[in-house]
Structure 1
Amino acid sequence: MREADETTRQRLADALRAEPATPSELATQLDLPPHAVVRHVEHVSKSVAGTDEQLLVAPPTCRDCGFDDYDDLLNLPSRCPDCKSESVDEPTFTIE
């Protein structure tokens, strides 16, 4: 299948099968805003459910206090709920 024939979600899934990536990295690769990438990842996770693959998510992590117990892993938090720092690493997604 040619790249032009693939949907955004197919290209996203292929990228996640190749290597782990953050929403910002995927946004640059797919020419989308990071929040749109997160919405697409939600749909990709439903697509791989029930197959021999699974979407794995490394949670966002506060660089100041280490907090990583976020309720919604498919989110781009702007601040840490624990220490209120804005130094939060994005989640990382991969399909295995």
Structure 2
Amino acid sequence: MESRGPLTAREIAELVGLDPVTGEREVYEHLRHIAKTLRRAYGGRAVLYMIPPRCRDCGYVFRDLREPRKPSRCPRCRSQRIEPPRFYIEVD
């Protein structure tokens, strides 16, 4: 499958035929494994990148996430209007 741009976990779930809500959680669980598999399969030439989540109210960017997930609340303004992270694969 190919996409024209970065995808959210929910969009990935829909593309592979999973329920958007429950499948989104499954996608987050598997993304770390997918990143490792890509590096091994392509000898380091393929990388999974994450565009970090961002608060829609104040613009805060969650740059320091240790693992892929959608935060529930902004630490700066406490808003729950969080744009989810987006993922894409780049192959050299």
Common fold, TM-score beyond 0.5?
yes
3-state DSSP of counterpart to 1:48: helix
With over 3 angstroms needed to count, the CA separation of the structure-2 counterparts of 1:15 and 1:41, relative to structure 1, is farther
Displacement of 1:71 in angstroms is 2.5
The counterpart of 1:74, out of the listed 58, 68, 72, is 68
Provide TM-score, normalisation by structure 2.
Answer: 0.76
The counterpart of 2:37, out of the listed 47, 58, 68, is 47
Query: For residue 87 of structure 1, what is the amino acid of its counterpart?
Result: R
Identity, % of aligned pairs? 35
Cα distance in 2 between the residues matched to 1:70 and 1:85: 17
The counterpart of 1:85, out of the listed 61, 79, 88, is 79
Matches within 5 A, 1:1-96: 14-15=1-2, 19-30=5-16, 31-32=18-19, 33-49=23-39, 50-72=43-65, 74-96=68-90
Report Cα offsets for 1:36-95 as digits up to 9, x if no partner: 101111111111234201111100000001011343251111111111101000000000
Pairwise CA RMSD of aligned residues? 1.9
Equivalent pairs, count: 82
Which structure features the higher share of helix residues?
1
Structure 2 runs not aligned, ≥5 long: none
Which structure features the higher share of strand residues?
2
Cα distance in 2 between the residues matched to 1:85 and 1:15: 33
